[in-house]
Amino acid sequence: MQDLRRERLRVESSEEIGPYVLLRLERGTLEPGVPGQFFMLEAPGRVLPRPMSLCQAPPGALAFLIDPIGPGTRALCELAPGDAIHVLGPLGNGFEICVDRPLLVAGGIGIAPLPYLAEALGSPRAILGFRSAFHAEAAALLPGAEVVVEPRLVTELLPAEPGDVLACGPEPMLEAVRLLVPRAQLAWEAPMACGYGACYGCVVERDGRYERLCIAGPVLREAA
């Protein structure tokens, strides 16, 4: 159960980073939440909002990294300063940040929650993987991170003793990380209509049961 906060926020800026757009909104009275939590962003002209994890929380603002892969995300990427959208959040369960030896791992747009997470953890070691050099321009959001571009994979850079892995990325990457680091905290993605447990659209299978990712996650880890 969570307190739902929804507010209309004005766009401060919209910046292209490789194929992605960093959309910066005025924060209003919304809380930035815990790294790995997400917000539902109104996608202008669309029926449903889109779930986005918080990328950065500069003073007075909330910034989201958006990959324009469909009509909703494209509408968000086309927003201009002065436009305003409704934002609901923060939602879901973020990363457990009380960890001893954090190692951040992300693939592609999975880098989105890492800048805010890195800030909370004091800029720990980070490994990023991208599809192309163009996509890898997003690595600028995480100075000092180690970067691989396909065909190389992030799992190649995982040390033998990886410590506390916190990861976000496409499903195949998360599955590969989980095989190597069963205790890793993994931020998953699913189509969501509501983000607050109402629609049952975002279920993931856990222990043979379907659970709503929006309230069980989006960050999940194997039971101890």
Partner 1 sequence: MSVPLLNASGCLDALTAPAVARRFDVFVTKTVTPHPREGNPSPRIAETEHGMLNSIGLQNPGIDAFVVDVLPRLAKLGVPLWVSVGGFSAADYAAVCERLEDEDDVSAIELNLSCPNVEEAPETAAELVAAARTATAKPLYAKLSPASWNIADSARAVAASGADGLSLVNTIRGLAIEPVSGRPVLALGAGGYSGPALRPIALACVYACARAVDLSIVGMGGVTCGRDVRDLADAGADAVALGTILFADPEAPARIRLELEGEPSLVRGISAAETGALGGASSPEANVSAALTTQKALQN
Where along the sequence are the contacts to partner 1 (CB under 8 A)?
Answer: 1-4, 6, 42, 46-49, 71-72, 86, 88, 190-194, 196-204, 209-210, 215
* DSSP collapsed to 3 states, the chain: CCCCCEEEEEEEEEEEECCEEEEEEECCCCCCCCCCCEEEECCCCCCCCEEEECCECCCCEEEEEECCCCHHHHHHHCCCCCCEEEEEEEECECCCCCCCCEEEEEEHHHHCCHHHHHHHHCCCEEEEEECCCCHHHHHHHCCCCEEEECCCCHHHHCCCCCCEEEEECCHHHHHHHHHHCCCCEEECCCCCCCCCCCCCCCEEEECCEEEEHHHHCEEECCCC
Instruction: Report the half-sphere exposure of 21 (CA within 13 A, side-chain side).
Output: 20
Q: Least distance (Å) from partner 1 to the CB of residue 100?
A: 33
- Quick one: 182 or 191, whose CB is closer to partner 1? 191
- Quick one: 145 or 219, whose CB is closer to partner 1? 219
- Quick one: 144 or 191, whose CB is closer to partner 1? 191
Q: Least distance (Å) from partner 1 to the CB of residue 125?
A: 33
Q: Least distance (Å) from partner 1 to the CB of residue 201?
A: 3
- Quick one: 8 or 10, whose CB is closer to partner 1? 8
- Quick one: 4 or 133, whose CB is closer to partner 1? 4
